[in-house]
Protein backbone atom coordinates (compact mmCIF):
# COMPACT_ATOMS: atom_id res chain seq x y z
CA UNK A 1 0.00 0.00 0.00
CA UNK A 2 1.32 3.43 -0.87
CA UNK A 3 1.97 5.79 2.03
CA UNK A 4 0.42 9.23 1.88
CA UNK A 5 2.53 12.13 3.10
CA UNK A 6 0.94 14.28 5.74
CA UNK A 7 2.30 16.98 7.93
CA UNK A 8 3.20 17.93 11.43
CA UNK A 9 1.46 19.16 14.50
CA UNK A 10 2.51 21.00 17.60
CA UNK A 11 5.49 19.36 19.28
CA UNK A 12 3.29 18.63 22.31
CA UNK A 13 1.33 16.12 20.20
CA UNK A 14 3.97 13.96 18.52
CA UNK A 15 2.05 10.66 18.14
CA UNK A 16 -1.02 10.93 15.92
CA UNK A 17 -3.74 8.57 14.73
CA UNK A 18 -6.67 8.94 12.34
CA UNK A 19 -9.20 6.20 13.21
CA UNK A 20 -11.32 6.96 10.11
CA UNK A 21 -8.40 6.18 7.80
CA UNK A 22 -6.55 3.86 10.23
CA UNK A 23 -3.24 5.72 9.79
CA UNK A 24 -0.65 6.33 12.48
CA UNK A 25 2.48 8.45 12.64
CA UNK A 26 4.87 10.67 14.52
CA UNK A 27 4.44 14.42 14.05
CA UNK A 28 7.87 15.98 14.17
CA UNK A 29 8.73 19.31 12.64
CA UNK A 30 8.36 18.96 8.89
CA UNK A 31 6.24 16.66 6.75
CA UNK A 32 5.65 13.12 7.96
CA UNK A 33 4.43 9.90 6.47
CA UNK A 34 1.43 8.29 8.09
CA UNK A 35 1.38 4.52 7.82
CA UNK A 36 -1.55 2.13 7.96
CA UNK A 37 -1.86 1.24 11.64
CA UNK A 38 -1.22 -2.48 11.14
CA UNK A 39 2.09 -1.69 9.39
CA UNK A 40 3.32 0.81 11.99
CA UNK A 41 6.13 -1.36 13.34
CA UNK A 42 7.33 -2.57 9.96
CA UNK A 43 7.43 0.75 8.12
CA UNK A 44 6.70 3.59 10.52
CA UNK A 45 7.88 4.98 13.82
CA UNK A 46 7.72 2.68 16.81
CA UNK A 47 5.50 3.67 19.72
CA UNK A 48 7.01 1.72 22.59
CA UNK A 49 6.35 2.19 26.27
CA UNK A 50 3.65 4.58 27.44
CA UNK A 51 2.49 6.97 24.72
CA UNK A 52 -0.27 9.58 24.47
CA UNK A 53 -1.77 9.71 20.98
CA UNK A 54 -3.59 12.70 19.50
CA UNK A 55 -6.62 11.98 17.33
CA UNK A 56 -6.40 13.69 13.96
CA UNK A 57 -8.38 14.11 10.76
CA UNK A 58 -5.63 13.54 8.22
CA UNK A 59 -7.78 14.81 5.36
CA UNK A 60 -7.39 18.38 6.66
CA UNK A 61 -4.04 19.47 5.26
CA UNK A 62 -2.34 21.93 3.00
CA UNK A 63 0.37 21.62 0.38
CA UNK A 64 3.45 23.82 0.74
CA UNK A 65 5.21 25.49 -2.15
CA UNK A 66 7.68 22.60 -2.14
CA UNK A 67 4.90 20.06 -2.64
CA UNK A 68 4.97 18.71 0.94
CA UNK A 69 1.68 18.05 2.68
CA UNK A 70 1.22 19.32 6.24
CA UNK A 71 -1.56 18.82 8.75
CA UNK A 72 -3.20 22.06 9.81
CA UNK A 73 -4.16 23.05 13.34
CA UNK A 74 -7.71 22.00 12.47
CA UNK A 75 -6.43 18.46 11.83
CA UNK A 76 -5.91 17.98 15.58
CA UNK A 77 -9.28 17.12 17.10
CA UNK A 78 -8.41 17.70 20.76
CA UNK A 79 -8.96 14.08 21.82
CA UNK A 80 -6.31 11.83 23.33
CA UNK A 81 -5.86 8.12 23.93
CA UNK A 82 -3.23 6.09 25.75
CA UNK A 83 -1.11 3.45 24.06
CA UNK A 84 1.26 1.01 25.76
CA UNK A 85 3.88 -0.89 23.73
CA UNK A 86 2.04 -0.31 20.47
CA UNK A 87 -1.48 -1.25 21.63
CA UNK A 88 -4.25 1.19 22.52
CA UNK A 89 -5.27 0.75 26.17
CA UNK A 90 -7.93 3.49 26.08
CA UNK A 91 -10.19 5.04 23.50
CA UNK A 92 -9.95 8.76 22.73
CA UNK A 93 -11.62 9.61 26.05
CA UNK A 94 -9.51 12.58 27.14
CA UNK A 95 -9.72 16.19 26.02
CA UNK A 96 -6.56 17.60 27.64
CA UNK A 97 -2.98 16.53 28.16
CA UNK A 98 -0.04 18.01 29.99
CA UNK A 99 1.53 20.70 27.78
CA UNK A 100 4.61 21.08 30.00
CA UNK A 101 6.16 17.72 29.23
CA UNK A 102 5.45 14.39 30.77
CA UNK A 103 7.07 11.94 33.11
CA UNK A 104 6.60 8.29 32.26
CA UNK A 105 8.84 7.04 35.06
CA UNK A 106 5.86 5.75 37.03
CA UNK A 107 4.18 4.42 33.87
CA UNK A 108 1.53 7.11 34.23
CA UNK A 109 0.51 10.14 32.22
CA UNK A 110 -1.46 13.23 33.25
CA UNK A 111 -4.68 13.62 31.24
CA UNK A 112 -7.81 15.68 31.58
CA UNK A 113 -11.48 15.21 30.84
CA UNK A 114 -14.21 17.84 31.14
CA UNK A 115 -11.90 20.22 33.02
CA UNK A 116 -10.69 17.64 35.57
CA UNK A 117 -7.27 16.03 35.70
CA UNK A 118 -5.78 12.79 36.96
CA UNK A 119 -3.20 10.14 36.09
CA UNK A 120 -3.71 7.20 33.75
CA UNK A 121 -1.54 4.08 33.93
CA UNK A 122 -0.11 1.79 31.28
CA UNK A 123 -3.11 -0.54 31.46
CA UNK A 124 -5.48 2.35 30.68
CA UNK A 125 -6.86 2.51 34.22
CA UNK A 126 -7.23 5.86 35.96
CA UNK A 127 -4.80 5.50 38.88
CA UNK A 128 -5.30 9.00 40.31
CA UNK A 129 -8.96 10.06 39.86
CA UNK A 130 -9.78 12.88 37.47
CA UNK A 131 -10.84 15.27 40.24
CA UNK A 132 -8.08 17.89 40.11
CA UNK A 133 -8.16 21.30 38.46
CA UNK A 134 -4.71 20.47 37.12
CA UNK A 135 -1.95 17.99 37.78
CA UNK A 136 1.71 17.83 36.78
CA UNK A 137 3.93 14.95 37.77
CA UNK A 138 7.61 14.24 37.75
CA UNK A 139 9.47 11.23 39.12
CA UNK A 140 7.70 10.18 42.33
CA UNK A 141 5.49 13.20 43.02
CA UNK A 142 2.53 14.94 41.45
CA UNK A 143 1.69 18.59 41.97
CA UNK A 144 -2.08 18.99 41.96
CA UNK A 145 -4.61 21.79 42.38
CA UNK A 146 -7.97 21.00 44.00
CA UNK A 147 -10.53 23.64 45.00
CA UNK A 148 -7.95 26.33 44.28
CA UNK A 149 -5.36 24.86 46.63
CA UNK A 150 -2.13 23.17 45.67
CA UNK A 151 -0.77 19.98 47.10
CA UNK A 152 1.85 17.31 46.50
CA UNK A 153 0.92 13.67 45.96
CA UNK A 154 3.32 10.80 46.58
CA UNK A 155 2.87 8.57 43.51
CA UNK A 156 5.69 6.06 44.06
CA UNK A 157 3.42 3.03 44.46
CA UNK A 158 0.41 3.75 42.26
CA UNK A 159 1.11 1.31 39.41
- Helix residue ranges, H only, 32-96: 40-43
- Terminal CA-to-CA distance of the chain, rounded, Å? 39
Q: Mean of the pLDDT values across residues 40-67? A: 78
Provide the pLDDT confidence category of residue 105 given band limits of 50, 70 and 90.
low
Give the three-state DSSP class for 18: strand
Give the three-state DSSP class for 130: strand
Q: Mean of the pLDDT values across residues 78-87? A: 91
pLDDT of residue 11: 37
pLDDT tens, 6-47? 333 333 457 889 999 998 887 665 566 677 887 666 665 567
CA distances from 62 to 8, 59, 67, 128 (A): 11, 9, 9, 40
| Residue 133 near residue 148, CB atoms below 8 Å | yes
Residue 42 and residue 40: Cα distance in Å, rounded? Answer: 6
pLDDT tens, 128-145? 999 999 998 877 888 999
**Closest to 97 measured CA to CA, from 140, 69, 130:** 130
Question: Residue 83 phi/psi, 5° resolution?
Answer: -125, 140
pLDDT of residue 100: 59
| Residue 81 near residue 50, CB atoms below 8 Å | no
Amino acid sequence: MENAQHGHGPVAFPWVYDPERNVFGFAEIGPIILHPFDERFERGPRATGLVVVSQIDSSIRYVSGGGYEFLTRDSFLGRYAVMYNGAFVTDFLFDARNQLGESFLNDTVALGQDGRWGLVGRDGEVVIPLVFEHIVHNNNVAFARHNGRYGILDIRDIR
